[in-house]
């Protein structure tokens, strides 16, 4: 089968994924499932993997390269291990990105992302930028009738990551309050739709790109700002002192030290994008009682909830499709923000 594989890290991002013929994965354990990939979302994490941001955390002493990237996968069940009972060949499925064990205490509490023994196909082991990939039965959600893998693949990570952060924000802010979204890309546009259907708060969308601002307008953002140099003043004026919650979907290139300044007293920052370093004077934390935390992907049940919102037509993925052969073009266009929403690879 064809697969797009990474052979070396490069902070300058000049390397390309190699499209190769490799052996298709086979079942080697009773709980495994082979999925024929229908589509796989292209994620900023893929760029960060190529840059080598994850190298020290994941590779340890040796190197995990080469392997196939792609962790936002949906498709059709191709083959199942002997213990698999909940899906059968031909079923359309979306794949939670983290193969949690189901046995450890964190898993028992439902905190899939805290699993002590989890594996993340596409980060350190073969993922879905290929014709087939291997996951476990426990990661699969059957798609609702009429929903295609192509229409939802990035929900597997971009979608639930945005959903989890938006759900946290919705619980924190009362109707009439303000939730600010920094970055209306693949995640931000999903968070915006989720908030429109789960929160009475007013939504402020911030993005430099006119196409992203237009998408935010179409999706019902109450206030749209271009992220210019006077952003802090604009937000304070529009909100009467600052946002109640800000979600930073960028987390690098300078946003990480603007986002917390957009909060009002008692406000909360939820960091989703990453790559930068947050530097906050302790006096700011004390005097303004702001809270700063992160949000990591999402649990299995959060993906189930998101797929129900999607099935009801309330949250849709805006995406641009590329063939597997054109994946390096997709990566280049992603870096240059040549498309709105998500880029999706179709093998
Ligand atoms: Zn992702
Ligand atoms: Zn576990």
Q: Counting ligands in written order, which one lies closest to the CA of residue 156?
A: 1
Q: Does the structure show a pLDDT above 80 at 60?
A: no
Between the CA of 345 and the centroid of ligand 1 the distance, in Å, is: 13
pLDDT for 61 beyond 90 = no
Residues with CB under 5 A from ligand 2 (ion): 100-101, 104, 107, 115
Region 312-338 average pLDDT: 95
Calculate how far, in angstroms, residue 132's C-alpha sits from the geometric centre of ligand 2: 25
d(CA 249, CA 186): 9
Closest ligand to Cα 136: 2
Residue 230, SS3?
Answer: coil
- Residue 91 DSSP symbol: -
For residue 176, pLDDT over 80 is answered with yes
Which ligand is located closest to the Cα atom of residue 42?
A: 1
Q: Is 111 exposed, middle or buried (0-12, 13-18, 19+ CB in 10 A)?
A: middle
Of 55-64, 162-171, 225-234, 295-304, the one with minimum mean pLDDT is 55-64
**pLDDT confidence band for 166 (50 / 70 / 90):** very high
Please name which ligand lies nearest the alpha carbon of 100: 2
The CA distance from 245 to 179, in Å, is 5
Domain 159-294 coded CATH 3.40.50.720: yes
Confidence of residue 218 (pLDDT cuts 50, 70, 90): very high
Q: Considering only 9-13, 203-207, 286-290, which range has the smallest mean pLDDT?
A: 9-13
CATH topology of domain 2-157+298-346: Quinone Oxidoreductase; Chain A, domain 1 (3.90.180)
- Do 2-157+298-346 and 159-294 share a fold? no
State the pairing for strand pair 18-21/2-6: antiparallel
Model confidence over 221-254: pLDDT tens digits? 999 999 999 999 999 999 999 999 999 999 999 9
Q: How far is the CA of 60 from the centre of ligand 1 (A)?
A: 22
- pLDDT, residue 63, reads 84
Whether the CB-CB separation of 203 and 181 falls below 8 Å is answered with yes
Ligand that lies nearest to the alpha carbon of residue 101, given by its number in the listed order: 2
Q: Which of 289, 252, 286 is nearest to 268 (CA)?
A: 289
Query: Which ligand ends up closest to the CA of 123?
Result: 1
Distance 135 CA to ligand 2 centre (A): 15
What are the structural domain ranges in the chain?
2-157+298-346, 159-294
Question: Average pLDDT of the chain?
Answer: 96
Token readout for 190 is: 């999903």
pLDDT category, 71, cuts 50, 70, 90?
very high
Q: Write down the pLDDT at residue 255.
A: 94
Is the Cβ–Cβ distance between 345 and 330 less than 8 Å?
yes
Q: Among all ligands shown, which has an atom nearest to the Cα of 99?
A: 2
């Amino acid at each position: 089968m064809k697969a797009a594989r990474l052979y070396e890290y490069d902070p300058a991002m000049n390397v390309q994924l190699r499209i190769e013929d490799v052996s298709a994965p086979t079942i080697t354990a009773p709980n495994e499932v082979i999925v024929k990939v229908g589509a796989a979302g292209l994620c900023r994490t893929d760029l960060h993997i190529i840059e080598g941001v994850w190298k020290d955390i994941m590779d340890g002493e040796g190197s995990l390269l080469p392997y196939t990237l792609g962790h936002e996968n949906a498709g059709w069940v191709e083959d199942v291990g002997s213990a698999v009972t909940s899906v059968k060949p031909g079923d359309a499925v979306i794949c939670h990105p983290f193969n949690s064990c189901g046995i450890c205490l964190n898993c028992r509490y439902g905190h899939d992302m805290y699993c002590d023994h989890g594996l993340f196909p596409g980060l350190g082991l073969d993922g879905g930028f290929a014709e087939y990939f291997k996951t476990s039965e426990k990661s699969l959600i059957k798609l609702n009738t009429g929903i295609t893998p192509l229409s939802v693949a990035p929900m597997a990570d971009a979608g639930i990551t945005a959903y989890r952060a938006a759900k946290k924000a919705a619980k924190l802010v009362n109707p009439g309050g303000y939730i600010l979204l920094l970055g209306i890309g693949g995640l931000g546009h999903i968070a915006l739709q989720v908030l429109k259907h789960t929160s009475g708060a007013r939504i402020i969308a911030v993005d430099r790109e006119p196409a992203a601002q237009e998408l935010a307008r179409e999706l019902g953002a109450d206030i749209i700002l271009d992220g210019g140099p006077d952003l802090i003043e604009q937000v304070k004026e529009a909100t009467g002192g600052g946002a109640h919650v800000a979600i930073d979907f960028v987390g690098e290139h300078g946003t990480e030290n603007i986002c917390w300044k957009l909060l009002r007293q008692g406000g909360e920052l939820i960091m989703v994008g990453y790559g930068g370093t947050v530097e906050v004077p302790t006096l700011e934390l004390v005097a303004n009682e702001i809270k700063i935390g992160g949000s990591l992907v999402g649990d299995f049940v959060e993906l189930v909830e998101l797929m129900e919102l999607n099935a009801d037509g309330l949250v849709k993925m805006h995406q641009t499709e590329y063939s597997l052969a054109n994946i390096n073009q997709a990566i280049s266009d992603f870096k240059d923000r040549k498309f709105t929403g998500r880029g999706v690879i179709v093998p």
